[in-house]
Chains A and B, each alone.
Chain A
């Protein structure tokens, strides 16, 4: 069974058609790229998959289970985590807490137990904190555990966001323009990070990105959207040479990738 199956996904915002007839199958372990000009509907697709919008039409299935229209926190509990185009970290909580809170669905205790501090509460907290500590270590953010996200350099904030997504132990990781605003050095680090995460955590990754270097380096497979429609689908090399893709991005010229 495929990890993620999307069938005929269509979404309207009032009269605006944002996504049209998207069909997609993701197998476990893949790294899929989603590219397209601005406004093509890429982030909308992510929002639909993670449950923030209920699709106008179409099906989304995670391991055979229908998830379209489920509330976002339930979709996350089923194994889909994401990062955001504009960083959305919790700025009055410490870096460490940011990594703990995303594991909220794993807590398994409520108000009463948190007040009484029962053994199951302690066990839950210990587990959550352990995961958070491990991630801090793995991502090299140990030094910043008690810091606030807004005080971190931009690249580290992005890394923290990815870490936060990882803390859920997701099966599928959605990365929304992780390279946005990064300088070339940070981009190289990001590429290494994505490759490393993929093998270390045995994840499936779905990536939206404008930075072609990142896309071409890490993706197995690329889907291209324009005005909500799929205009190309294939390996990086295939897509690079696809006329429609070139037209959508650059008009009639041939691109040259540095």
Chain B
């Protein structure tokens, strides 16, 4: 009996952690390359969910006339996902061009860019609220829900999808960063941004690529999240975003392995705390554990402390 609920919790934790991992990834990629905490990132996740919502409902024929050819809901899902990732990546890149790049050009202190990021996040949240109203939206059910029971543990296909997707994304990103040229460029920039353009590497292009990667991962997370928990509201990115950011730091910000591990770790902490303690204590205990961990090892699990030379 205990084992059963234990594995159920493990499964839930892995799914919950997947979302954190996918979003944490965007934070860590941008931080690794720009040393910037992109506080708008959690809201990119929200934007992804909303764009997914609109594309899906459009394709389902809720706004305009139905499409001339019939598309199965699963096909709509895949199509929406791809389009959402592209469009959301566009939003991320737009923010980079309009808000972050001018500041980078001016060479101002990193703090100002962080503040700008925070403000962009606020604009996205409250812009959504202002334009679309406070009413919640319901993400259409596109994927057929199937439940399997294995040894008393209930497994839904959505959960499997989320977890498998996240693992695939992790492998894909590790490959990109370690085996491709652009990945090498990303890592080079994280070590020394000044020297890199002197070596003939187009820094801006690499940065744009980083934002594309990060934002599309957030969009992926957004659509998957909306599929698993179909209620959308403008502030959904805020809390999840902050927590994913914390997960990224927990794992060691700037490290991809850190983002994934941190995401899953936070997921595990939250789900298991909620399983054995009253649910209202969940956030409290999770944050307290985090606080204690960061006090002892501020650079996170995989993080490397940058030494100061006197």
Contact = CB atoms under 8 A, between A and B. Distances in A.
Interface in A54-90: 84-85
Nearest to A43: B310
Nearest to B310: A47
Q: How large is the interface on A (under 10, 10 to 19, 20 to 34, 35 or more residues)?
A: under 10
Interface in A221-241: none
A117 to B, nearest CB: 33
Nearest to A44: B310
Nearest to B307: A13
Interface residues of B, number: 1
Contacts of A47: 310
A52 interface: yes
Contacts of B310: 43, 47, 52, 84-85
Contacts of A43: 310
Interface in A177-227: none
A47 B310 CA distance: 8
A42 to B, nearest CB: 12
Nearest to A176: B310
Interface string B278-310: 000000000000000000000000000000001
A84 B310 CA distance: 7
Contacts of A52: 310
Interface string A37-56: 00000010001000010000
A85 B310 CA distance: 8
Contacts of A85: 310
B109 to A, nearest CB: 12
Nearest to A84: B310
A43 B308 CA distance: 13
A211 B81 CA distance: 66
Interface in A17-53: 43, 47, 52
A19 to B, nearest CB: 14
Interface in B259-292: none
A30 B310 CA distance: 25
A123 B217 CA distance: 62
Interface in B73-97: none
A180 to B, nearest CB: 14
A52 B308 CA distance: 11
B291 to A, nearest CB: 25
B25 to A, nearest CB: 30
B308 to A, nearest CB: 10
A43 B310 CA distance: 8
B73 to A, nearest CB: 57
A34 to B, nearest CB: 15
A53 B238 CA distance: 42
Nearest to A88: B310
A142 B310 CA distance: 29
B260 to A, nearest CB: 27
A47 B308 CA distance: 12
A139 B57 CA distance: 76
B306 to A, nearest CB: 14
A173 B177 CA distance: 49
A47 to B, nearest CB: 6
A59 B273 CA distance: 49
A217 to B, nearest CB: 26
A85 B309 CA distance: 10
A92 to B, nearest CB: 12
A155 B310 CA distance: 20
A199 to B, nearest CB: 29
A41 to B, nearest CB: 13
Contacts of A84: 310
A96 B46 CA distance: 52
A239 B310 CA distance: 28
5 contacts: A43-B310, A47-B310, A52-B310, A84-B310, A85-B310
Interface of A: 43, 47, 52, 84-85
Going nearest first, the 3 A-B pairs with the smallest beta carbon separation are: A47-B310, A52-B310, A84-B310
